[in-house]
Amino acid sequence: MAIVRRVVGRELDPETRAAMEAEVREAAKRPYVYDPDCPLLTEEQLAEFRPVNFATNEKRLAAMGLQLASPEECARVEERMNEYHETPDSFIPWSEVRDT
């Protein structure tokens, strides 16, 4: 397997550039070789993968089994934060914020 590295912003001399392009062309002609220690995934295994580029935070949280806090919950947290503002060693129990 050929690994080709290029540094962005650095100009290559024509001989080096031609050698790299030839190496890439030769590598493109070779067949794919799969590692026997890492077999191809089955359809069931592929179905278990989740996308990592979610369109919204709501979809990302839903995939993790979570949900965004409602505006009312955010307001209650802000109120409690204002109450505890003067005592930095205090914490706000989540049970006091979210009605479960």
Of 4, 3, 30, the closest CA to residue 16 belongs to 4
Q: What's the domain range around 87?
A: 14-97
More confident residue, 100 or 78: 78
CA separation (Å) from 37 to 9, 32, 33, 34, 41? 38, 15, 12, 9, 12
Number of domains in the chain: 1
pLDDT at 9 over 60: no
Cα dihedral: 56, 61, 67, 70 (round 10): -40
Q: Is residue 6 domain-resident?
A: no
Q: Is residue 9 domain-resident?
A: no
Q: Mean pLDDT across the stretch 34-58?
A: 80
Q: Is residue 85 domain-resident?
A: yes
Q: Is residue 3 domain-resident?
A: no
pLDDT band for 99, please (50, 70, 90 cuts): low
More confident residue, 71 or 60: 71
Q: Is residue 2 domain-resident?
A: no
Q: Is residue 93 domain-resident?
A: yes
Q: Is residue 54 domain-resident?
A: yes
